[in-house]
Structure 1
């Protein structure tokens, strides 16, 4: 397996790459992750079953789209491929460091600039992709509230129902989410789609983001996600607000946007996330 990966990297970079150092690193709950080095080049690699290649290719595509904007940094994609029984994604290796308050502020500015500089005519994406290991449908839609209520909330509720986990009448819940978003005017922009603290880091060159689940949507989904598992430092939000202030009633919409991620965690992991879904749903229905 490693020989095939060496050969792929060698072909891409145009010079011989032979693994001289290999170290397992933390990379979440889904993939096996390693730092590979020949003491000249350093790469971060994700490994999973061969059937997961499409997920890696979707991730690589999203990273390439983010990088094209020249607003936010993300790791360069080196290669995707398969071995006899594994699929893999090879990325540029970027060592982490502790960020200063100024660097968090700059991150807020850069994310705001990414959102401002990527207007699009419709909501969706060029193909379906993944949020974790869950398929994320992205059929093009001109109406944001319909897109999010149906292709995000309704989709996740249906997946739960297929596991005999029923939170209530799906149509009623979808309609409630739709109505909360009803008067919010949205310009589609490129979003990271899964922006929590575990999917960003800082190197000597500043902030970089990774593990995207990108699509063209409401920029507020990214800000909401940063608040779901513990807020980022205040300087980040100040940098964003100074550059691209959020609209009124964001706190209400945040409940709907983060409901999607809690539903996805319930689909992936069950347990406590099901109870969180019920609590979040109660708050949403109270607003309806």
Structure 2
């Protein structure tokens, strides 16, 4: 496989690349992560079974969207490819650091991304993935329809196919629609924005693992606070550029159901319990 990686990097760079060192990094799910280097370049390589090729291709496309439309530091995709047994994505290596975290700038950059309203509908031209789960992005005129059907309804259906029935899906979808704003403007959202997907390099905010689509910007803020609170400086920076509505937190309980359902589909356990509790709370 590594000969194939060498070959594709060389073709992408238009110069020879000969792997001289390979370091295994902490991996997650079915993916294995490596730092590879030659005498003058270093790259991050993600390796997974061949079935993950479409996920890597979607990741590359989503990275391109963020590079085009945001001022975050996003690792360039060098190449995506396959060997006989595996697929891989090769990314620019970014030197990350701790102790120099400018969360205020992170909030400002996310707000600037959300300010760029280029679409009149909610969704995306292509479906993508959140973690290892398919994420449908069919275009909708109404945000409440998109979120209720393409996000919550889809995740509930995935659970139902595993024999887990948390609620009557059709009835719950209709109730969700009545809880959401009808006149929000579509923003390009990261789609999986939380502390684990944010880092810093030379003080500049870096984003990982995008699951982009055009949606209500509040979804990124709600997701960021679903499991781990972000520093106060982050929200101050965001609101200095693009103030949130006074009642934005009223929708957090609805929006945070989505990342909990994603975790429930991936890991079950306590996340199923949390999802059931959130659904009961929303139905009160």
Whether the aligned pair in 1 keeps the contact of 2:58 and 2:129 (CA below 8 Å) is yes
TM-score where L is the length of structure 1: 0.95
Q: Which residue of 2 aligns with 1:16?
A: 16
Question: In the aligned structure 1, how far is the partner of 2:214 from the partner of 2:253?
Answer: 20
Q: Which residue of 2 aligns with 1:273?
A: 271
Deviations 1:85-123 (A, max 9, x none): 11111111112112546x110110011001102431111
Question: In the aligned structure 1, how far is the partner of 2:212 from the partner of 2:201?
Answer: 22
Whether the aligned pair in 2 keeps the contact of 1:200 and 1:209 (CA below 8 Å) is yes
* Counterpart pick for 1:199 among 197, 200, 209: 197
- Judged with a 3 Å threshold, the aligned counterparts in structure 2 of structure 1 residues 37 and 118 are, in CA distance, closer, same or farther, namely farther
Structure 1: unaligned runs, 5 residues or longer: none
Question: In the aligned structure 2, how far is the partner of 1:256 from the partner of 1:245?
Answer: 20
Q: Which residue of 2 aligns with 1:238?
A: 236
Does the residue aligned with 1:230 lie in a helix, a strand or coil? coil
Does the residue aligned with 1:95 lie in a helix, a strand or coil? coil
Deviations 1:44-81 (A, max 9, x none): 11110111100000010000011012422211111101
Runs of 4+ in 1 over 6 A off after TM superposition: none
- Judged with a 3 Å threshold, the aligned counterparts in structure 2 of structure 1 residues 117 and 2 are, in CA distance, closer, same or farther, namely same
Deviations 1:107-141 (A, max 9, x none): 10011001102431111111111111111111111
Q: Which residue of 2 aligns with 1:128?
A: 127
Q: Which residue of 1 aligns with 2:39?
A: 39
Does the residue aligned with 1:207 lie in a helix, a strand or coil? strand
Q: Which residue of 2 aligns with 1:80?
A: 80
Does the residue aligned with 1:232 lie in a helix, a strand or coil? coil
Q: Which residue of 2 aligns with 1:116?
A: 115
TM-score where L is the length of structure 2: 0.96
Q: Which residue of 1 aligns with 2:154?
A: 155
Q: Which residue of 2 aligns with 1:166?
A: 165
Whether the aligned pair in 2 keeps the contact of 1:126 and 1:138 (CA below 8 Å) is yes
Equivalence map 1:42-57=2 (5 Å): 42-57=42-57
Structure 2: unaligned runs, 5 residues or longer: none
Question: In the aligned structure 1, how far is the partner of 2:204 from the partner of 2:274?
Answer: 34
Whether 2:216 is the aligned partner of 1:218: answer yes
Question: In the aligned structure 2, how far is the partner of 1:70 from the partner of 1:131?
Answer: 20
| Offset of residue 185 of structure 1 | 2.3
| Offset of residue 226 of structure 1 | 0.8
User: Aligned-residue CA RMSD in angstroms?
Assistant: 1.3
Equivalence map 1:246-285=2 (5 Å): 246-285=244-283
* Greater mean deviation of Cα atoms: 244-253 or 121-130: 244-253
